[in-house]
């Protein structure tokens, strides 16, 4: 269920802020559990290209193997300005939408590099964990937001309507569930799991070869 939840959350994010078919999307945090789900959902919803920055070369390579030319990886170097330039250069077209799904363990200073790679009049959807463990909050230049007419959208979790839409994407073949490993559980364990407030990541795993 962890995998299904991550895909439903990704669908909700994109439903609120993009992508539209044919657009270029950047997923910041795209090498993590929720991020890899967001990549799959973005492609299923018709994104022409998904740019995925990260520091884990093995995961980036595996994503390219899975999704081919529609996925553009970017190995981050740590310098915010250089990383922003690298993300923009990796995209074949201007980046229309950025999804930030960085985990709480990442410092807030990392997020702007990806967010500021979006084109003028572009959109950014925030649904990561920046600042949830304390520390600095996200800071973006006021003048940059205003002059470039950037739309920021915050999104928490997902509505019930995201689940049937997710099922429809899978049924149509647009979303390949074969990218995940599923572990069966008997009803007793399902009841115990759903009664818990904590997710069980061992139920669904993204398969890396």
**pLDDT tens readout for residues 27-48:** 999 999 889 999 999 999 999 9
User: What three-state secondary structure class fits 128?
Assistant: coil
Quick one: which of 100, 111, 129 has its CA closest to 25?
100
Token pair for 167: 């099922």
What is the pLDDT confidence band of residue 204, given thresholds at 50, 70 and 90? very low
Mean of pLDDT values over 12-21 = 66
Sign of the C-alpha dihedral computed for residues 6, 10, 13 and 15 taken in this order? negative
Are 115 and 124 a contacting pair, CB within 8 Å? yes
Judged against a pLDDT cut of 70, whether residue 206 lies above it is answered with no
Query: How many CB atoms lie under 10 A from the CB of residue 131?
Result: 14
CATH architecture for segment(s) 2-154: 3-Layer(aba) Sandwich (3.40)
Token pair for 96: 């229309």
pTM for the model? 0.81
- Residue 148 pLDDT: 98
Residue extents of the structural domains in the chain: 2-154
Beta strands in the chain (DSSP E): 24-28, 49-54, 71-75, 97-100, 123-126, 151-154, 180-182, 204-206
Mean pLDDT value across the chain: 86
Mean of pLDDT values over 186-203 = 66
Judged against a pLDDT cut of 70, whether residue 199 lies above it is answered with no
What residue spans of 91-208 are helical by DSSP H? 111-115, 142-147, 162-171, 187-195
Quick one: which of 172, 108, 118 has its CA closest to 149?
118
- Residue 3 pLDDT: 53
| Percent of the chain topping pLDDT 90 | 62
Judged against a pLDDT cut of 80, whether residue 1 lies above it is answered with no
Q: Interior CA angle at 22 toward 20 and 23, to 5°?
A: 65
Summarize pLDDT for 105-151 with one digit per residue, the tens. 999 999 999 999 999 999 999 999 999 898 889 999 999 999 999 99
Provide the CB-side half-sphere exposure for 139 (13 A, CA): 5
């Amino acid at each position: 269920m962890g995998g299904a939840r991550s895909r439903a959350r990704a669908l909700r994010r994109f439903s609120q802020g993009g992508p539209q078919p044919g657009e270029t999307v950047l997923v910041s945090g795209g090498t993590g559990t929720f991020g890899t789900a967001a990549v799959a959902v973005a492609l299923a919803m018709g994104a022409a290209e998904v740019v995925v920055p990260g520091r884990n070369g093995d995961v980036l390579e595996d994503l390219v193997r899975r999704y081919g030319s529609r996925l553009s990886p970017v190995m981050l170097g740590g310098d915010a300005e250089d990383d922003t330039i690298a993300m923009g250069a990796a995209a074949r077209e201007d980046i229309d939408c950025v999804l930030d799904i960085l985990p709480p363990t990442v410092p807030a200073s990392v997020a702007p590099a990806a967010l500021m790679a979006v084109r003028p009049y572009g959109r950014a959807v925030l649904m990561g964990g920046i600042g949830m463990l304390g520390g600095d909050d996200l800071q973006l230049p006021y003048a940059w937001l205003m002059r470039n007419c950037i739309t920021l959208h915050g999104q928490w979790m997902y509505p019930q309507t995201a689940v049937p839409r997710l099922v429809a994407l899978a049924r149509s073949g647009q979303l390949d569930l074969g990218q995940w490993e599923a572990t069966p559980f008997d009803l007793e364990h399902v009841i115990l799991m759903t009664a818990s407030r904590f997710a069980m990541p061992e139920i669904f795993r993204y398969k890396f070869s």
